[in-house]
């Protein structure tokens, strides 16, 4: 899905050195070793010649060093029966292979703006390509990959969100206690929302009516419902860097611990307008569900806000396990689901579910994967904020861990497939169809930021992890430009050059 947010002004990242000089800088050790080997191999010729061909359609560069004859004089060797062979360039196995497939043209597409990216060969761990990859930048919805990885590491794949009802302090009162489950559905039994298999408010209401009547046989009517959404701090319901229009456009809801169907007007549609009061909407739906479940009295219960005081638990419903929730979060880029999972990670570490605690909570969780989080700054869990700072190199490195870790298979299963599923179903068309089906990646978009990060099986069979950012000022044309660049990487495979 599409997300949006305000752009920000940031200092431009220093571009990496380009061309042959940049290549030499990045491969200084290998070049030095190879050059020395050539010198020894060719000393008897009276001159040293080194030729290097770089990139597509680039002329060879030759360097000829004139050396004084005295410097080339070679002492007559002592007679030996079997002299040792002279070293040759092929003897130096530490030198990096010279890769020749360049993506400089698609990487330089002006539609990508200030481009940044990083590509890794999964078999060797080599960084094949880098442009400002170590610089923290907003990853847009690529942030959801971090959220999924952090959640699996901290909460675990079997974690389920809970919504409870407890007895209130006053007669006739019950308290509806939200635990962050945005998948809780107000649809009737047998109807499915965008969250397949979600718990139903009708089930919670039926449990509540039966349990309350059993506990209060002389006065079984529930006359008042208190809504407790205190599990997430009220001050953190909306980040100041998000655009309010996102709610009306249907891209996200306020972050509240109590809501139904992600606060969608149409629970069956992923992108559906959200309300200004998700807690109140949930309360109204629960009061109606109580009446439908046979609550005595014939009138919907009155609704008010408050907190539970430790009363008897009357009812509870649980979400699908986390392993099933990360998949729609990634595939459909569900912002509401991502935000609630982020707050639950914070609670796991005793940090109160605050937005301010997310960097601390996420870095604790992500440290499990032994990928340094230098340069990572987390403002939200969905990627809607331009204040997130995620280096492309970090995302690519995280994908190498995801590829090799069976317990993270839910992430790869949830990634959109180029030209086939999720937010990539309508992309990688025309000439870019060559990579369709071979790329699984998370899309991202906020104002002036477009990203694509994931995994691919290249044309030569090599497995690559990549993270590509198009940074402002950019527009929707960045999407096909990213697809074209990704297709070029797919064509190069392990022969991808950093030139």
pLDDT digits (tens, 9 = 90+) for 411-444: 999 999 999 999 999 999 999 999 999 999 999 9
Specify if 181 maps to a domain. Answer: yes
Specify if 175 maps to a domain. Answer: yes
Mean pLDDT across 145-167: 99
Contacts of 320 (CB under 8 A, 6+ apart): 160, 183, 195, 196, 197, 198
pLDDT of residue 24 exceeding 80: no
pLDDT of residue 19 exceeding 60: no
Gap between the Cα atoms of 468 and 130, Å rounded:
10
pLDDT of residue 7 exceeding 50: no
> How far, in Å, are 26, 36, 54, 126 from residue 31 at the CA level?
9, 9, 13, 17
Residue 330's pLDDT band (cuts 50, 70, 90): very high
Mean pLDDT across 470-490: 98
pLDDT for 164 equals 99
Mean pLDDT across 173-184: 99
pLDDT for 400 equals 98
252 shares a domain with 180? yes
Specify if 347 maps to a domain. Answer: no
Higher pLDDT, 272 or 46: 272
- Per-residue pLDDT tens over the stretch 128-154: 999 999 999 999 999 999 999 999 999
pLDDT of residue 6 exceeding 80: no
Higher pLDDT, 56 or 182: 182
pLDDT for 96 equals 66
- Domain ends where: 320, 340, 375? 320
pLDDT for 97 equals 76
488 shares a domain with 424? yes
- Domain ends where: 38, 59, 91? 91
Mean pLDDT across 277-306: 95
pLDDT for 60 equals 32
pLDDT of residue 276 exceeding 70: yes
Gap between the Cα atoms of 266 and 82, Å rounded:
86
State how many domains the chain has.
Answer: 3
Question: In terms of residue numbers, what domain contains 388?
Answer: 104-155+356-495
Specify if 98 maps to a domain. Answer: no
178 shares a domain with 40? no
Specify if 23 maps to a domain. Answer: no
Q: Where residue 393 sits, what CATH number does that domain have?
A: 3.40.710.10
Strand, coil or helix: 320: coil
Cα-based torsion angle of the residue sequence 126, 130, 135, 138 in order, rounded to the nearest 10 degrees = -100
pLDDT for 298 equals 77
pLDDT for 299 equals 83
Q: Cis link prior to 158 (omega < 30° from 0)?
A: no
The percentage of residues in the chain with a pLDDT greater than 90, rounded to a whole number, is: 79
CB atoms within 10 A of CB 29: 10
Residue 10's pLDDT band (cuts 50, 70, 90): very low
188 shares a domain with 74? no
The pTM (predicted TM-score) of the whole model is 0.81
Pairing between strand 313-318 and 302-305? unpaired
Higher pLDDT, 38 or 174: 174
390 shares a domain with 478? yes
380 shares a domain with 460? yes
pLDDT for 95 equals 57
Contacts of 321 (CB under 8 A, 6+ apart): 157, 158, 159, 160
257 shares a domain with 134? no
Contacts of 168 (CB under 8 A, 6+ apart): 174, 175, 224, 226, 309, 311
Average per-residue pLDDT for the chain: 86
Specify if 213 maps to a domain. Answer: yes
292 shares a domain with 267? yes
Residue 29's pLDDT band (cuts 50, 70, 90): very low
pLDDT of residue 462 exceeding 90: yes
148 shares a domain with 194? no
Higher pLDDT, 10 or 297: 297
Specify if 377 maps to a domain. Answer: yes
- Per-residue pLDDT tens over the stretch 204-261: 999 999 999 999 999 999 999 999 999 999 999 999 999 999 999 999 999 999 999 9
Gap between the Cα atoms of 391 and 389, Å rounded:
7
Residue 158's pLDDT band (cuts 50, 70, 90): very high
180 shares a domain with 147? no
pLDDT of residue 108 exceeding 90: yes
Q: Which residues pair with 456 in a beta bridge?
A: 439, 464
The DSSP result for 260-303, as a single string, is: SGGGBSSTT-SS--B-S-HHHHHHHHHHHHHHHTT-TTSSPPEE
167 shares a domain with 305? yes
- Domain ends where: 42, 70, 91? 91
Specify if 344 maps to a domain. Answer: no
pLDDT of residue 484 exceeding 80: yes
The percentage of residues in the chain with a pLDDT greater than 70, rounded to a whole number, is: 81
177 shares a domain with 311? yes
């Amino acid at each position: 899905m599409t997300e949006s947010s305000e752009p920000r002004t940031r200092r431009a990242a220093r571009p990496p050195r380009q061309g042959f000089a940049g290549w030499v800088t990045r491969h200084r050790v290998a070049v030095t070793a190879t050059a020395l080997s050539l010198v020894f191999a060719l000393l008897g010729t009276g001159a040293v010649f080194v030729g290097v061909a770089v990139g597509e359609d680039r002329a060879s560069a030759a360097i000829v060093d004139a050396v004084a004859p005295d410097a080339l004089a070679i002492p007559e060797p002592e007679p030996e029966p079997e002299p040792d062979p002279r070293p040759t360039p092929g003897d130096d196995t530490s030198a990096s292979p010279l890769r020749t497939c360049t993506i400089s043209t698609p990487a330089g597409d002006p539609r990508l703006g200030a481009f940044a990216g990083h590509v890794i060969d999964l078999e060797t761990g080599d960084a094949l390509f880098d442009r400002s990859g170590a610089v923290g930048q907003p990853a847009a919805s690529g942030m959801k990959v971090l959220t999924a990885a952090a959640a699996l590491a901290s909460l675990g794949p079997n974690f389920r969100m809970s919504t409870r009802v407890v007895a209130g302090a006053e007669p006739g009162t019950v308290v509806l206690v939200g635990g962050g489950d945005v998948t809780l559905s107000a649809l009737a039994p047998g109807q499915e929302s965008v969250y397949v298999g979600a718990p139903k408010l009708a089930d919670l209401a039926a449990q509540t009516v039966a349990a309350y009547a059993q506990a209060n046989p002389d006065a079984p009517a529930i006359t008042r419902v208190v809504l407790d959404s205190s599990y997430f701090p009220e001050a953190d319901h909306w980040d100041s860097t998000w655009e309010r229009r996102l709610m009306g456009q249907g891209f996200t809801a306020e972050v509240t611990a109590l809501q139904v169907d992600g606060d969608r007007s149409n629970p069956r549609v992923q992108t559906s307008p959200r309300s200004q009061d998700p807690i109140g909407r949930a309360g109204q739906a629960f009061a109606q569900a109580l009446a439908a479940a046979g609550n005595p009295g014939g009138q919907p219960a009155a609704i008010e806000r408050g907190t539970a005081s430790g009363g008897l638990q009357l009812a509870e419903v649980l979400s699908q396990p986390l392993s099933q929730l990360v998949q729609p979060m990634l595939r459909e880029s569900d912002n509401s689901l991502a935000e609630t999972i982020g707050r639950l990670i914070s609670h796991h570490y005793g940090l109160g579910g605050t937005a301010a605690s997310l960097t601390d909570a996420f870095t604790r969780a992500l440290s499990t994967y032994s990928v340094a989080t230098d340069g990572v700054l987390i403002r939200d869990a969905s990627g809607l904020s331009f204040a997130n700072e995620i280096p492309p190199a970090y995302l690519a490195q995280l994908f190498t861990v995801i590829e090799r870790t069976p317990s993270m298979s839910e992430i790869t299963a949830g990634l959109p497939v180029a030209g086939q599923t999720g937010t990539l179903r309508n992309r990688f068309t025309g000439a870019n169809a060559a990579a369709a089906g071979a790329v699984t990646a998370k899309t991202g978009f906020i104002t002036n930021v477009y990203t694509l990060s994931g995994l691919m099986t290249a044309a030569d069979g090599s497995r690559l992890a990549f993270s590509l950012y198009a940074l402002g000022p950019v527009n929707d044309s960045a999407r096909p430009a990213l697809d074209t660049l990704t297709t070029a990487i797919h064509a190069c495979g392990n022969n991808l050059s950093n030139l």
